[in-house]
DNA sequence: ATAATACTTTACTAATTTTGTCAAGTATTG
DNA sequence: CAATACTTGACAAAATTAGTAAAGTATTAT
């Protein structure tokens, strides 16, 4: 339950690859495709959304590619997922687009709202920079710090 | 994003209705159907799963219906949802049934795992009894305690 | 100039999941 | 023994997901 679509998953992984090139090295779709094993055509869709949302910039021509539009510690996982999948909305009646007929006096409504808020709050605390840091820990020998996200 | 299916939503609402009858009053499918506006046939599917999981008991014959199999404060939302929708698995590679080829050195994997753990932990703290309490607060005048789930 | 590289956009579709309905029972008891 | 209630399994329409495909436009190294 509570699955994330591949669009969201791939989007985060793509942003992670682009973040590695920050601030000078444009990363091409092809590179992302190869490293993350996602088709170029599908990535185009995803990166397009992220570019229009202002999270990344693109550089055309040979040697071009994608660049982060802000510093890696300013871009949260929450922002990326919101652009690709819309707001956290455990139930459809919590989606701002839809609305709910039974809001008043509905106990489960409160429950789902609280859960959604908790999820958002968590995802807002994690940034691309945290992912990069975490990878360094994984590849390095600082095994003592390894499950950092559990602490946050 | 991160939607819950209607099966999970209706299941929690049905359990809430059954909890109101605890410990003596069997609640019929028809009553649940009317109060929660879900078809009888669909509820049958849902309640069947919950009964087989041992969360509720059924009493046949006139005056029969469904009863909670345990005390309302012993049944968490997490348990109900797990029976109806399987474990929390933000990505399919985190589903115990599937597995993941890239676990080692995969940073996002850690992220999704942490998120899933947080969600489960939260849902385990909320019981049917909490829902009933919360409803009393909503209907009563203790407006000061109203958003209880946010605190938990 | 122009070929190579790279991004952009829109349309389409196969597969999967969700959200149920339907039919034909079985079990219990007043 | 009829009324009430639960039980089971098959089936299917609708929505969503997860992509592919095609036909571009833009930039720049040489």
pLDDT per residue over B104-127, tens digit each? 678 899 999 999 999 999 999 999
Given B2, B4, B111, which is nearest A149 (Cβ)?
Answer: B111
Q: Span A58-63, mean pLDDT?
A: 90
User: Number of CB pairs < 8 Å for A and B?
Assistant: 126
Query: Do residue B8 and residue A16 have CB atoms under 8 angstroms apart?
Result: no
Contact B91 A3 (CB under 8 A): yes
Contact B2 A2 (CB under 8 A): yes
* B29 Cβ contacts chain D strand, under 7 Å: yes
pLDDT confidence of residue A128: 96
Q: Which residues of A touch B20 (CB under 8 A)?
A: none
Residues of B in contact with A126 (CB under 8 A): 111
Show which positions of strand C are touched by protein (CB under 7 A).
4-11, 17-23, 27-30
Strand C atom within 7 Å of A47 CB: yes
The pLDDT-based confidence of A140 (bands split at 50, 70, 90) is confident
* Residue pLDDT, tens place only, A91-126: 988 877 777 777 767 889 999 999 999 999 999 999
The whole-number pLDDT of residue B96 equals 75
Q: Give the count of beta carbons closer than 10 Å to the beta carbon of residue A2.
A: 25
Chain B residues whose beta carbon lies within 8 Å of the beta carbon of residue A89: 1-3
pLDDT in tens, B49-95: 999 999 999 999 888 999 999 999 999 999 999 999 999 999 988 87
Q: How confident is the model at residue B150 (pLDDT cuts 50, 70, 90)?
A: low
Contact A4 B131 (CB under 8 A): no
Architecture of domain B6-145: Orthogonal Bundle (1.10)
**Contact of A22 with A15, CB cutoff 8 Å:** no
Kindly state the percentage of chain B with pLDDT values over 70. Answer: 91
Residue A87: per-residue pLDDT: 93
Residues 6+ apart with CB under 8 A from B33: B39, B40, B43
B115, A123: Cβ pair inside 8 Å?
A: yes
Instruction: With a cut of 60, say whether residue A151 has pLDDT above it.
Output: no
Domain chopping of chain B, boundaries: 6-145
pLDDT of B143 reads: 60
Higher-pLDDT residue of B40, A23 = B40
pLDDT of residue B23: 77
Cβ A60 to strand D below 7 Å: yes
**In this complex, is the C-beta atom of B137 within 8 Å of any C-beta atom belonging to chain A?**
no
Instruction: Report the alpha-carbon distance of residue B79 to residue B152 in Å, rounded.
Output: 18
Average pLDDT of A139-151?
A: 64
Look at residue A104 and give its three-state secondary structure. Answer: coil
Please give the pLDDT value at position A86. Answer: 93
- What pLDDT, on the 0 to 100 scale, is given for residue A38? 95
Q: Within an 8 Å CB–CB cutoff, is residue A103 touching chain B?
A: no
Q: Which of A26-30, A145-149, B5-9 has the lowest mean pLDDT?
A: A145-149
The predicted structure's pLDDT at residue A52: 93
């Amino acid at each position: 339950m509570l699955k994330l679509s591949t669009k969201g998953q791939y989007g985060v992984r793509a942003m992670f690859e682009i973040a590695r090139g920050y601030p000078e090295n444009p990363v091409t779709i092809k590179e992302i495709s190869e490293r993350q094993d996602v088709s170029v055509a599908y990535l185009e869709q995803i990166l397009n959304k992220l570019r229009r949302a202002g999270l990344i910039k693109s550089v055309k021509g040979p040697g071009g590619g994608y660049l982060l539009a802000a510093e890696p510690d300013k871009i949260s996982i929450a922002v990326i997922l919101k652009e690709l999948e819309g707001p956290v909305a455990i139930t459809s009646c919590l989606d701002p687009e839809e609305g709910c007929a039974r809001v008043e006096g509905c106990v489960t409504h409160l429950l789902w709202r609280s859960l959604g808020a908790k999820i958002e709050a968590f995802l807002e605390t994690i940034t691309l920079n945290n992912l990069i840091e975490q990878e360094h820990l994984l590849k390095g020998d600082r095994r003592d710090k390894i499950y950092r996200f559990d602490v946050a």
